[in-house]
Amino acid sequence: MHLIEPHEPRLLAIDDSELIHRLLKARLKHEHIEIHSACSGLQGLEIARTLMPDVILLDIDMPGIDGFEVLRRLRAEPALHDIPVIFISSQSNTMDKVRGLDLGAHDFVTKPFDLTELKARVRSALRVRQLIRMLAQRAQLDGLTGLWNHAYFTQRLEEEIANSQRHETSLSLIMCDLDRFKNINDEFGHPFGDHVLEMFSQLLADGRVGDIPCRYGGEEFTLILPQTTIEEAGQVADRLREKVKSLVWEGHPELTLTASFGVTDLYRAGAPTIEAVVAAADQALYAAKQDGRDRVRLAEPKGPPMKLTA
Instruction: Report the CATH number at residue 261.
Output: 3.30.70.270
Tell me, yes or no, whether 240 lies in a domain.
Answer: yes
Please tell me the pTM assigned to this model. Answer: 0.63
58 and 112 assigned to the same domain: yes
Taking the C-alpha atoms of residue 175 and residue 220, their distance in angstroms, rounded to an integer, is: 7
Total Cβ atoms within 10 A of residue 115: 12
Tell me, yes or no, whether 5 lies in a domain.
Answer: no
Predicted pLDDT at 15: 94
Taking the C-alpha atoms of residue 16 and residue 13, their distance in angstroms, rounded to an integer, is: 10
Predicted pLDDT at 303: 53
Taking the C-alpha atoms of residue 265 and residue 224, their distance in angstroms, rounded to an integer, is: 10
Predicted pLDDT at 304: 53
175 and 105 assigned to the same domain: no
> What CATH number is associated with residue 100?
3.40.50.2300
164 and 130 assigned to the same domain: no
164 and 133 assigned to the same domain: no
Tell me, yes or no, whether 165 lies in a domain.
Answer: yes
- In the three-class reduction of DSSP (H, G, I as helix; E, B as strand; rest coil), residue 210 is classed as coil
Planar angle of CA 218, 224, 229, nearest 5 degrees:
135
**Contact assessment for residue 306 and residue 271, using Cβ atoms and an 8 Å cutoff:** no
Range of the domain at 131: 10-138
182 and 73 assigned to the same domain: no
Predicted pLDDT at 308: 46
Tell me, yes or no, whether 20 lies in a domain.
Answer: yes
H-only helix segments in 52-93: 67-76
217 and 268 assigned to the same domain: yes
Predicted pLDDT at 6: 52
Predicted pLDDT at 26: 87
Burial bucket for residue 249 (CB in 10 Å: 0-12, 13-18, 19+): middle
Q: How many CA atoms lie within 13 A of 238 on its CB side?
A: 9
Tell me, yes or no, whether 19 lies in a domain.
Answer: yes
Q: Which of 106, 138, 170 is the last residue of a domain?
A: 138
Catalytic residue from among 219, 232, 254, 275: 219
Give the DSSP letter string of 152-171.
HHHHHHHHHHHHHHHHTB-E
Residues sharing a CB contact under 8 Å with residue 157, sequence separation 6 or more, in sequence order: 173, 224, 274, 277, 278
Amino acid at 17: S
158 and 104 assigned to the same domain: no
173 and 114 assigned to the same domain: no
Q: Is 219 in the active site?
A: yes
97 and 165 assigned to the same domain: no
Predicted pLDDT at 309: 47
CA dihedral 122, 124, 129, 133 (to 10 degrees): 140
- Per the structure, the count of domains in the chain is 2
- pLDDT (tens, 9 = 90+) of the chain, 310 residues, equals 444 445 689 999 999 999 889 988 888 888 889 999 999 999 999 999 999 999 999 999 898 899 999 999 999 998 898 899 999 887 777 888 888 888 889 888 888 878 888 889 898 998 888 887 777 777 888 989 989 999 999 999 999 999 999 999 999 999 999 999 999 999 999 999 999 999 999 999 999 999 999 999 999 999 999 999 999 999 999 999 999 999 999 889 899 999 999 999 998 999 999 999 999 999 999 999 999 999 999 999 875 554 444 4
Tell me, yes or no, whether 279 lies in a domain.
Answer: yes
Predicted pLDDT at 29: 80
Tell me, yes or no, whether 307 lies in a domain.
Answer: no
Tell me, yes or no, whether 180 lies in a domain.
Answer: yes
